[in-house]
């Protein structure tokens, strides 16, 4: 008898793979597709435009020439701009952390009636369009504002940056603080430590991962701010972001823009490295303390100081600019009027090629399209980077992939927008005249926010749930469908809110890509404030109120759908 029992017989086809083998192959193919599709989109619509723009600045007559980099950084103007960027970012970060720490305690550790509503209101400024924030502070601090004298100054920019980033600190630090085990500071108090010493020696070290993560994110957002600086400072108070815009659009100096873009990319990369490391530590802390709650009822005798600071920030810093924006939009001449809102149906004295209402309609349509694209890509990215592979090399690869998809968060939107124009202008991707270019650009900008909203929800899943499902005979695909996807669905609401709000307010890339006859509302507002006259500024105020109302409504609805397991930044 032959020993080759399982060998194929000559002339007969090889036996078909078993259903189990087919399932394993299909499962591996699914993960490959889930990783390749977002990577391809990021490569085509982010890496390619950015690398091409930077490359053109360093290629002269077909040769690589890095002399421009030395030339740019040999100028005093460049160092002044870099210094201003770092100073504004550091100041905005320091003030945001100092004011956000008591806010995190009051809104996430203390319980009081109406806390959910206050949390939602505090989160609105973060998603307001930067142009709207700039106009609001200009209305408050500008020449005709109630606090005239600070408009278009570094102080005004820092205040606007804190307004924009306060909720980042409150949410990030508060999410961890509310889950710290309260028995540790209580034990320190029982041993004779004062409340301040117990906070400094026990609570504050435990909050270090959240504080570092929040500070690095805020620094990143402050260093890459564009709309706020353009409205409140312009080129006169230049930062790296506005200088890239100036060198690209006004001087057509791609070499200088490329050198500055690389400098900005280095800063962004460092911030993302710190953010990823500290966020991972924070998520581990959240899982370890998921059952321990440090929440307590608000008591005036104990919590008066942080409560007063939080109230002043919410009412003064966050509320005053928005209230002033609304009030001034309702003033025309010496009385109350809806004249500025009626002007939204016109071209505002031919200052615009189309009525302002067209910009509102275009913004909503584009935002819906961009949100759909960002959610589709974000779900795939979240599922891939939330895996917990067994090998160290695979874990490092996933962390690198996670950081890669965070890059659009800090790379100049001006660089991305101008890069689109010089790369997607010929076959096979000639999209210059296509309106699909705007929602794609906005989706790429919003993608990091979508991933950051859903990823903590999936990572918070107890691994024992997957193990139990597998032990009961569920296939990997069924484990994904029955365990991961229901949790992922809980984060879709807040992710969609962030994506739509970011799209509604995106200005940097859209200012390059939007056609004159199809502008979005932020582009319309910026054009209006650049025109002289009360009518144009009044229409800009009214349009800003409409845009702020749209983004606030979107985020308030998304906040109601936010799962408790979501990392609250």
DSSP characters over 109-157: IEE-TTHHHHHHHHHHHHHS-HHHHHHHHHHHHSTTSTTTT-TTSHHHH
Q: What is the pLDDT at residue 100?
A: 94
Contact 217, 172 (CB under 8 A): yes
Sequence-ordered strand ranges (E) for 304-459: 331-332, 335-336, 425-426, 429-430
Contact 510, 444 (CB under 8 A): no
Listed by start position, the domains of the chain span 331-569
Q: Which parts of the chain sit beneath pLDDT 50?
A: 1-3, 286-292, 565-569
Distance CA 257, CA 255 (A): 5
Burial class (CB in 10 A: 0-12, 13-18, 19+), 142: buried
Rounded to the nearest angstrom, the gap between the alpha carbon of residue 244 and the centroid of all alpha carbons in its chain is 20
CATH topology of domain 331-569: MetI-like fold (1.10.3720)
Give the burial string for 182-208 (b: 16+ CB within 10 Å, else e).
eebbeebeeeebeeeebeeebbeebbe
Q: What is the pLDDT at residue 292?
A: 42
Q: What is the pLDDT at residue 313?
A: 94
Q: What is the pLDDT at residue 366?
A: 93
Q: What is the pLDDT at residue 397?
A: 78
Q: What is the pLDDT at residue 341?
A: 93
Q: What is the pLDDT at residue 62?
A: 66
């Amino acid at each position: 008898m032959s020993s080759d029992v399982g060998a194929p017989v000559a002339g007969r086809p090889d036996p078909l793979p078993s259903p189990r083998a087919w399932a394993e192959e299909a499962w591996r193919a699914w993960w490959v597709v889930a990783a390749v599709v977002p990577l391809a989109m990021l490569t085509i619509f982010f890496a390619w435009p950015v690398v091409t723009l930077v490359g053109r600045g360093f290629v002269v007559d077909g040769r690589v020439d890095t002399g421009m980099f030395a030339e740019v950084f040999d100028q005093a103007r460049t160092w002044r701009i870099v210094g201003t960027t770092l100073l504004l970012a550091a100041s905005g970060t320091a003030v945001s952390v100092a004011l956000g720490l008591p806010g995190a305690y009051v809104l996430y550790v203390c319980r009081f009636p109406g806390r959910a509503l206050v949390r939602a209101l505090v989160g609105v400024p973060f998603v307001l369009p930067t142009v709207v924030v700039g106009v609001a502070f200009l209305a408050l601090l500008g020449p005709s504002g109630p606090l005239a004298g600070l408009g278009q100054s570094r102080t005004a920019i820092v205040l606007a940056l804190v307004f924009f980033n306060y909720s980042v600190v409150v949410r990030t630090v508060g999410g961890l603080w509310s889950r710290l085990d309260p028995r540790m500071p209580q034990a320190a108090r029982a041993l004779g430590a004062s409340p301040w010493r117990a906070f400094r020696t026990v609570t504050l070290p435990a909050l270090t991962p959240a504080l570092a993560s929040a500070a690095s994110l805020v620094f990143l957002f402050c260093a890459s701010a564009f709309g706020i600086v353009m409205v409140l400072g312009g080129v006169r108070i230049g930062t790296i972001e506005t200088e890239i815009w100036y060198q690209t659009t006004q001087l057509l100096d791609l070499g200088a823009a490329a050198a500055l873009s690389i400098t900005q990319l280095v800063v962004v990369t460092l911030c993302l490295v710190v953010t990823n490391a500290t966020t991972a530590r924070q998520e581990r802390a959240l899982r370890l303390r998921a059952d321990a709650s440090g929440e307590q009822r608000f008591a005036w005798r104990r919590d008066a100081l942080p409560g007063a600071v939080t109230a002043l920030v919410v009412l003064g810093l966050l509320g005053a600019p928005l209230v002033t924006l609304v009030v001034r939009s309702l003033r025309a001449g010496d009385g109350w009027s809806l004249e500025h809102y009626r002007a939204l149906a016109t071209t505002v004295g031919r200052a615009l090629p189309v009525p302002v209402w067209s910009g509102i309609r275009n913004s909503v349509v584009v935002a819906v399209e961009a949100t759909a694209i960002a959610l589709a890509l974000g779900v795939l990215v979240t599922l891939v980077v939330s895996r917990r592979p067994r090998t160290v090399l695979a874990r490092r690869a996933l962390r690198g992939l996670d950081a890669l998809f965070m890059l659009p968060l800090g790379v100049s939107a001006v660089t991305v927008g101008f890069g689109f124009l010089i790369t997607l202008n010929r076959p096979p991707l000639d999209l210059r005249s296509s309106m699909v270019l705007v929602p794609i650009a906005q989706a790429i900008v919003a993608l990091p926010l979508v991933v950051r909203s859903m990823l903590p929800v999936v990572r918070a899943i107890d691994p024992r749930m997957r193990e139990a499902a597998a032990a009961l005979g569920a296939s990997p695909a069924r484990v994904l469908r029955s365990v991961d996807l229901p949790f992922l669905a809980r984060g879709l609401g807040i992710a969609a809110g962030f994506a739509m709000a970011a799209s509604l307010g995106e200005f940097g890339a859209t200012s390059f890509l939007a056609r004159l006859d199809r502008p979005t509302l932020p582009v319309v507002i910026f054009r209006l404030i650049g025109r002289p006259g009360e009518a144009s500024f009044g229409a800009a105020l009214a349009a800003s109120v409409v845009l702020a109302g749209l983004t606030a409504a979107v985020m308030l609805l998304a906040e109601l759908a936010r799962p408790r397991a979501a990392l609250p930044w």
